[in-house]
Amino acid sequence: MGARTAITGTSWWAPRFGRTSALQTRPLASAAIRIPERVSERLALVFPSPSPRLYVHEGARQALERKLQAAFSGQVVISITDNRHSIISVSRRGGTVRIRVHHMFLDAPTHIVNALVRYLTTNDRAASIKVGLYIEENGGRLHRRRARKMPLAPKGRVHDLYEIFQDLNARYFDGQCNALITWGKRTKEKRTSPRKTIKLGSYSALERLVRLHPVLDRAWVPRYFVAFIVYHEMLHHVMPAVRDSRGGGRRNLHPPEFVEREREFRNFERAVAWEQKHIARLLRTT
């Protein structure tokens, strides 16, 4: 999840090509058997507009599909899921190979993607172990997400986020940013002490949702600053996190390319200066 913060989630997930396939008779390496068995769930990848289930970065999906297409003979169709019980599955219908994989593989390191391809094509034991360990390491991404119960509320008391979003989309994204946007939930509880940090905006890739802190919906907060926070989170929608080149498996949410594009915002310096000047007031506001 991207965010701009101001400071002072035992299954056989082996491929199945049919009852007579040799691959079906080969067991997975033990390291790859991690998830409690349950009937597979199929998640539609079409977004119901009020409550999307999963956002898939199309460029990353196509890159993975091209690798699999090169490894298999025949047509390959890949689907990306958030299914925590069936992490990887493959079937052949006619001349088409249909593969379903968890979204964690979209930003997996190259050696993991290569192991995934070897596992799917040859059931390679070493590749099976490597893929299984990767799934274990990313177990936190398998947890079931609670459905968002709150409806979208982009129109605030002062600032209309939908209007701002549409303007930014046309100006900086050629109208291609299809994220959703809303104000965060206002709390009725009074704070007993000032905040030390505040998350002014956030982006959820699974919901493809930009959310802004309601503290920004004030008459004294200029529209250009609200637009800057929206723009920052929209960038997270179109620029997925990358693996840190320094290693450790960390995901860099703000690589140099992100920072460079962020500075293209028309009022970038003005917005940064306003934040620095008014951060104390934002932290005190309830």
Q: Is 28 left (phi over 0), alpha (psi -120 to 50) or beta?
A: beta
Rounded-to-integer distance, Cα 73 and Cα 47, Å: 31
Mean pLDDT estimate for the chain: 75
Query: Higher pLDDT residue, 76 or 21?
Result: 76
Per-residue b or e along 181-220, where b marks 16 or more CB atoms closer than 10 Å to that residue's CB: bbbbeeeeeeeeeeeeebebbbbbbebbbbbbbbbbbbee
At 75, the pLDDT band (50, 70, 90 cuts) reads confident
Query: For residue 211, what pLDDT is reported?
Result: 94
Per-residue b or e along 248-271, where b marks 16 or more CB atoms closer than 10 Å to that residue's CB: eeeeeebbeebeeebeebebeeeb
Query: For residue 100, what pLDDT is reported?
Result: 86
- Judge contact between 232 and 173, C-beta under 8 A: no
Cβ neighbours of residue 151 closer than 8 Å, sequence gap 6 or more: 50
Average pLDDT over residues 118-140: 83
| CATH superfamily of the domain spanning 161-284 | Metalloproteases ("zincins"), catalytic domain (3.30.2010.10)
Rounded-to-integer distance, Cα 38 and Cα 255, Å: 39
Residues of each domain in the chain carrying CATH 3.30.2010.10? 161-284
Look up residue 53 and give its two tokens: 């289930």
Q: What is the pTM of this model?
A: 0.54
Percent of the chain scoring above 70 in pLDDT: 70
Around Cβ 97, how many Cβ atoms within 10 Å? 23
Which amino acid, one-letter code, is at 145? R
SS (H, E, C) 131-159: HHHHHHHCHHHHCCCCCCCCCCCCECCCC
Query: For residue 168, what pLDDT is reported?
Result: 96
How many residues does this entry show for the chain? 286
Q: Give the tens place of pLDDT for each residue, 141-185.
A: 665 555 455 688 999 999 999 999 999 999 999 888 888 999 998
Look up residue 101 and give its two tokens: 């994989």
- The secondary structure of the chain in percent helix, strand, coil, rounded to multiples of 5, reads 40, 15, 45
